[in-house]
């Protein structure tokens, strides 16, 4: 199937192929079928390699290839040696580093030696003439196709698939319906509750203290100086059953501004305390924690998609893909001076979802 084309016969055959090709039956579409094509000149003469001409170089290359294989053996042995010689001492990062490095370098040598050696062998020592293989149209021969059609026709006739339409149609119907149970089966991937209800509430409850993340110690209003930023979680969340899920909704950023800097809208007059405001940390875009607070500009930046919120203007969006302001947590101070939540958030926190307004 493959012939050496070093001789002139091969070149002539290649030239003829072109002529044959232009006579194929397929529609060429808008392609310009040239009538005056430049003829294929056929294969250029073979350019012998140094190894073909000089036996000495041939031997030299052979030695080189085997040297590469030998290097590979050394590398693999070194890798084993490194495994033993550079053990990991628990807690010593230097030892982990050395183990990784020397083991890796040994294996690298073992692999590259084989690889480069084999390629070098094929390039310089193996027979270097290009060979030619003829292509045949991908479609089966007319005879084969006729046979295939015959088999299908026979199958149809013997089974009556085309004739017994009732049988056929009910079978198709049955096949279509049969995967339905699988769809139902996947319902219990999640618990029975309605997700929409869950998304609309967080861990915050009226009177619940604001506490430091992660220690859970309560915060007094007097703890906040101007420019302070506290990462806040609700009291008791660390002991709750679904700690992480609850934290993913309840995380809050607490900052103190000069009271006169805050632009407070109607209905939110008593949501802050002496310039102290609390906002949900969960971005209203896709839910990254927005915690990059600039204490002079009072801008909040989301590090994931660069939405920016202005704390002075009730966390209104001033840049980026988010649409809605961060929800504000209404806060107050209890009798001991600790900051507490007046209620849960008054709207769902975090990214938008279809049923958000329902």
The residues in 312-341 that bind other proteins, with binding defined as CB under 8 A, are 317-324
The CB-of-342 to other proteins minimum distance in angstroms stands at 22
| Residue 255 in contact with other proteins, rule: CB under 8 A | yes
> Partners of 4 in the beta sheet?
131
Least Å distance, CB 345 to other proteins, is 15
Site string for other proteins, 212-251 (x = CB under 8 A): xxx----xx-xxxxxxxxxx-x--------x-xx-xxx-x
In angstroms, the Cα distances linking 290 to 180, 212, 293 are: 42, 17, 8
Between CA 271 and CA 341 the distance in angstroms is 9
DSSP output for 152-188? HHHHHHHHTTTT-HHHHHHHHHHHHHTTHHHHHHGGG
Exposed e or buried b per residue across 247-264, where buried means at least 16 C-beta atoms within 10 angstroms of its C-beta: bebbbbbbbbbeeeebeb
CA 203 to chain centre: 32
Compute the distance between CA of residue 275 and CA of residue 292 in angstroms, rounded to an integer.
19
The CA-based angle 136-138-144, given to 5 degrees, is 95
Looking at the Cβ atoms of 141 and 169, the one nearer to other proteins is 141
Residue number, 4 or 156, with CB nearest to other proteins: 4
Q: Which of 23, 47, 158, 175 is in the footprint of other proteins by CB under 8 A?
A: 47
**Binding residues for other proteins restricted to 286-305, rule: CB under 8 A:** 286-289, 291-297, 299, 301, 303-305
* Residue where the block lists tokens 């947590």: 329
Q: Is residue 247 within 8 Å of 253, Cβ to Cβ?
A: no
Binder of other proteins out of 23, 55, 133, 239 (CB under 8 A): 133
Residue where the block lists tokens 């290009």: 130
Residues 269-288 interacting with other proteins (rule: CB under 8 A): 281-283, 285-288
In angstroms, what is the minimal distance from the CB of 308 to other proteins?
6
Q: Is the peptide bond before 214 cis (omega within 30 degrees of 0)?
A: yes
**CB-nearer residue toward other proteins: 38 or 175:** 38
Site for other proteins in 105-124 (CB under 8 A): 105, 107-112, 114-124
Question: Measured from the CB atom, is 114 or 332 closer to other proteins?
Answer: 114
Q: Which residues contact 358 (CB under 8 A, 6 or more apart)?
A: 196
Distance CA 149, CA 146 (A): 5
Q: Which stretch binds other proteins (CB under 8 A): 129-137, 175-183, 203-211, 336-344?
A: 129-137
Quick note: the x/- pattern for other proteins over 168-197, rule CB under 8 A, is: ------------------xx-xxx---xx-
- 142 sits near other proteins (criterion: CB under 8 A): no
Count interface residues toward other proteins (CB under 8 A).
Answer: 148
Nearer to other proteins, 100 or 346 (CB): 100
Query: Using an 8 Å Cβ cutoff, are 209 and 335 in contact?
Result: no
Query: Which residue, 168 or 324, is less far from other proteins as judged by CB?
Result: 324
Residue 112 or 332: the one with the smaller Cβ distance to other proteins is 112
Interface pattern 5-44 for other proteins (x via CB under 8 A):
x----xx--x--xx-xx--x-xxxxxxx-x-xxxxxxxxx
**Shortest reach from residue 352's CB to other proteins, in Å:** 4
3-state secondary structure of 273: strand
Task: Look up residue 96 and give its two tokens.
Answer: 């982990």
Q: What CA–CA distance (Å, rounded) separates 312 from 324?
A: 15
Alpha carbon 197 to its chain centroid, in Å, reads 31
358 binds other proteins (CB under 8 A): yes
Segment contacting other proteins by CB under 8 A, of 103-111, 167-175, 265-273, 331-339: 103-111
């Amino acid at each position: 199937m493959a012939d050496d084309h070093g001789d002139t016969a091969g070149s002539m055959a290649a030239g003829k192929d072109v002529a044959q090709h232009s006579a194929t039956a397929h529609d060429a579409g808008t392609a310009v079928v040239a009538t005056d094509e430049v003829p294929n000149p056929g294969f250029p003469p073979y350019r012998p390699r140094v190894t073909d001409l000089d036996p000495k170089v041939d031997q030299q290359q052979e030695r080189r290839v085997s040297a590469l294989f030998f290097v590979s053996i050394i590398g693999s042995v070194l890798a084993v040696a490194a495994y033993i010689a550079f053990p990991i001492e628990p807690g010593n990062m230097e030892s982990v580093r050395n183990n990784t490095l020397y083991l890796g370098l040994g294996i690298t040598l073992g692999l590259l030696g084989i690889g480069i050696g084999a390629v070098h062998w094929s390039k310089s020592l193996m027979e270097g003439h290009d060979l030619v293989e003829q292509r045949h149209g991908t479609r089966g021969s007319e005879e084969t196709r006729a046979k295939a059609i015959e088999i299908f026709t026979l199958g149809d006739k013997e089974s009556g698939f085309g004739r017994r339409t009732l049988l056929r149609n009910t079978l198709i119907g049955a096949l279509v319906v049969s995967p339905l149970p699988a769809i139902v089966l996947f319902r219990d991937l999640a618990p029975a509750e309605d997700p929409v209800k869950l998304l609309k509430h967080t861990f915050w409850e009226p009177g619940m203290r604001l506490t430091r993340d992660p220690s859970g110690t309560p915060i007094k209003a007097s703890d906040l100086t101007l420019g302070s930023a506290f990462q806040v979680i609700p009291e008791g969340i660390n002991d709750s059953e679904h700690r992480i899920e609850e934290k993913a909704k309840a995380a809050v950023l607490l900052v103190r501004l000069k009271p006169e800097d805050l632009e407070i809208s109607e209905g939110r007059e008593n949501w802050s305390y002496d310039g102290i405001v609390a906002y949900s940390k969960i971005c209203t875009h896709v839910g990254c924690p927005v915690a990059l607070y600039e204490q002079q500009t009072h801008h909040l930046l989301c590090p994931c998609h660069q939405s920016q919120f202005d704390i002075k203007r009730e966390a209104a969006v001033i840049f980026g893909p988010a649409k809605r302001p961060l929800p504000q947590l209404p806060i107050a101070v209890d009798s001991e001076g600790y900051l507490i939540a007046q209620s849960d958030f008054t709207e769902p926190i975090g990214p938008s979802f279809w049923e958000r307004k329902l």
